[in-house]
Structures are given as structure tokens and as C-alpha cells.
Amino acid sequence: MNLKKALLRPWVLAAAAAASVPAALAGDISGAGATFPYPIYSKWADAYKKETGIGLNYQSIGSGGGIKQIEARTVTFGASDKPLKPEDLEKKGLTQWPMVMGGEVAAINLPGIKPGELVIDGPTLADIYLGKITQWDDPALKKLNPGVKLPSKPIVVVHRSDGSGTTFIFTDYLSKVSPAWKDKVGSDTSVEWPVGVGAKGNEGVSGNVAQFEGAIGYVEYAYAKQNKLTYMKMINKAGKVLEPGTETFQAAAANADWENAPGFYQILTDQPGAKSWPITGATFILMPKQVPNAQDALEALKFFAWAYKNGAKMAEELDYIPMPENVVKLVEQSWKNNIKDSAGQPIWK
């Protein structure tokens, strides 16, 4: 009898625990994916929880993981920095929209060089990452920076070692500006790097750049800013020399033609316009077209609508670029058209 009791007890406890867990989590929105927007999603979630009492459980496991989880329908939404192509969306029964945008900069570590002192253009950046330019006093760099004394130091190229939306945006840009890059390497969340050392995450790349003299790396602007890294100015498609920042990122975003992009498949790199920062990208949310649980999906959509409406200032504080109003309208219209419950009725009204 005693034995039986002892055996039973853990089961009772476990059952009690199992019964109480869903109750505690009920109402929380679950999502998984990209690490790039994680800081802003968690900031929004905090504010949203204070207002509505509904929390967000977002696992920043990476874009690839986010796509896998939403395909398996284990989360209510997935997040990815690399948009899925319209045909892939169709195949997987998903719909996607841009949530927030950001810019990337080339950060360097050269003693004596101040932030924004050096200028670089796309083809030269590609040549550095191709291993064609290996010294800081290379003629190509000298030509772009007359009057700056460039040291005769080897360039330490730093790239991401993990798959990443940041890498996708960066390599997409290099592919657009350098035929050699497009031919030899191409663009994806991870690629076969011809040269350089790999580091994990935006933190890893900024850490490595800060550690090693002569280093160059690409990071999301917020990381460069927070770590006080020396960023480079860039020459954009229109041939203008630009300083990175909210203004130039927004200019690139404003040029994007979201209206005529099926599935919001739109990559913001190398946009035309005198003030468009060349390496800009959006991060995307993925949801099933036919949702398994209409209530959960509606809660998630409510959160996104709230974030579009009230989250712009918070986004700017963290150096993200909020979506322009006309795009938000398009997105909400797409919710009505695309996200249906099991009866085929739209969830967002």
C-alpha cells in the first residue's frame, strides 16, 4: 500500500503540473525564427503585455529554424530575414509579410581611422570578400579615399559562421554589384566564403572586428553602433556617398515597390535613389494560409497590428526602421485575403 502510494504520488504531481501548464500559457502568442529582429520583438512584447496582459513567447532560433517550425505548425508564426519566394509560399501553404526593416554596415578596425572616415563602394567590398584585395593600402581603396593615409596591413575578413538573414542581405547586395561574386559565391543565408574567418551571430562578428587590427566585417547597424565600431561610408547605386542611419535606411525602404511584389517578396538592397543606403533589408513574418487554431492566429495578428500602430518609436530607438503606413495597409489587406480558418472564413476583419 505504501509502495503503491509512493508510486502514485509522482504521477499525481505530474498530472497536476501538466494540467496547470497550458492554463498558465494560454493566451501567450508563440513564434520562432530570426535573431535579427529579436531585440525589437521582445521590446514590443513587453509593452504589449503591459497593455493587454497577453505575452509573446518568441524563440530566436534563427530564420532557418523559424521556417522549419512554421512548416511543422508547432508555432503560431515563424520569422525569417530571407523572404520565401512566392512559389515556395504556395507550396508550403504559407503567407508572409514584412514586419520591420534595418540596415547593415561594413565595420572595420584600423587604428587612427574614425567612424565614417573611410568610404567604400560595392564592387570594392566584393573584391575584399573575394580575396582579390588583401591589403588596406590597395590602389582601389586608395582611389576611393584620397587624402587618407591607409596602413600597409593585411585585411582580416570576418563573416558569419552560422546561417543568417544578415548574410543573405549582404551577399544579395554583393551579387547585385559584382558579377564575379554572383558567379563564384552567390547569395544565401550561408555561402561558401572564399576567404576570411567566421564568427557566430552579429555579436560574434562585432566582437571579432573589435579584437583584430585590420579587420572588416558586416553587421546590423545597431550592433556597430552599440559596440562603437568604426563603420564605413558607402557609395550607393546613384553614386552618392552616404552615412548610415535611419534617414538613409528609410530612403531605401521608401523606394521599394511593395505593391507589385507578390507575397511581399522584395529585397531592399542596392535600391535606386540619391539617399538610399545600399545594404538595407526587411525581416518577415510567416503564417499558414489555413491556420490550425483561429483564436491563436487572431491573437498573433492583433499583436502585429498593435506593433505597426504603436511600435514605430520603439523600433527607431533600437535603430530599426518601421514599415511605412501604406505598406501596413497592404499587409493588413493581405491578412484579410490570405489567412483563413478551417471553415475558409477570414480571421482578420
Partner 1 sequence: MNHIASVSIRSSTAALDVPAAALRWHNLRDVALREATRLSAILVLVLLGGVIVSLIYGAAPVLRSEGLSFFTTEAWNPVTEKFGALGPIYGTLVTSFIAMLIGIPVSIGVAIFITELCPRPLKRPIGTAIELLAGIPSIIYGIWGLFVLAPFLQKEVQPLIISVFSGVPVFSRLFAGPPYGIGVLTAGIILSIMVVPYITSVTRDVFETVPAVLKESAYGLGCTTWEVVRNVVMPYTRTGVIGGIMLGLGRALGETMAVTFVIGNAHRIAPSLLAPGTTISAAIANEFTEATGALYTSALIALGLILFLITFLVLAAARYLLLQLERRAGK
Q: Measured from the CB atom, is 68 or 142 closer to partner 1?
A: 68
Taking CA atoms, 189 is separated from 168, 169, 291, in Å, by 4, 8, 27
Q: Measured from the CB atom, is 28 or 162 closer to partner 1?
A: 162
Question: What's the full length of the chain, in residues?
Answer: 349
Cell triple for 185: 559565391
Q: How far is the CB of 190 from partner 1 (least distance, A)?
A: 5
Cα gap 99→285, rounded to integer Å: 6
Q: Measured from the CB atom, is 200 or 309 closer to partner 1?
A: 200
Q: Bridge-partner residues for 230, per DSSP?
A: 108
CB 236 within 8 A of CB 276: yes
84 φ/ψ angles, rounded to the nearest 5 degrees: -80, 145
Provide the 10 A C-beta neighbour count for residue 64: 18
Q: Measured from the CB atom, is 78 or 322 closer to partner 1?
A: 78
Cα-trace Rg, the chain: 23
Q: How far is the CB of 197 from partner 1 (least distance, A)?
A: 4
Q: Measured from the CB atom, is 192 or 257 closer to partner 1?
A: 192
Q: How far is the CB of 200 from partner 1 (least distance, A)?
A: 6
Q: Which residue, 281, 203, 276, is CA-closest to 234?
A: 276
Q: How far is the CB of 112 from partner 1 (least distance, A)?
A: 16
Q: Measured from the CB atom, is 37 or 322 closer to partner 1?
A: 37
CB 107 within 8 A of CB 209: yes
Q: Where does this chain bind partner 1 (CB under 8 A)? A: 61-65, 67, 134, 154, 156, 161-164, 185-193, 196-200, 207-208, 211-213
Q: What SS3 state is found at 31? A: strand
Q: How far is the CB of 20 from partner 1 (least distance, A)?
A: 30
Q: How far is the CB of 141 from partner 1 (least distance, A)?
A: 16
Cα gap 263→90, rounded to integer Å: 9
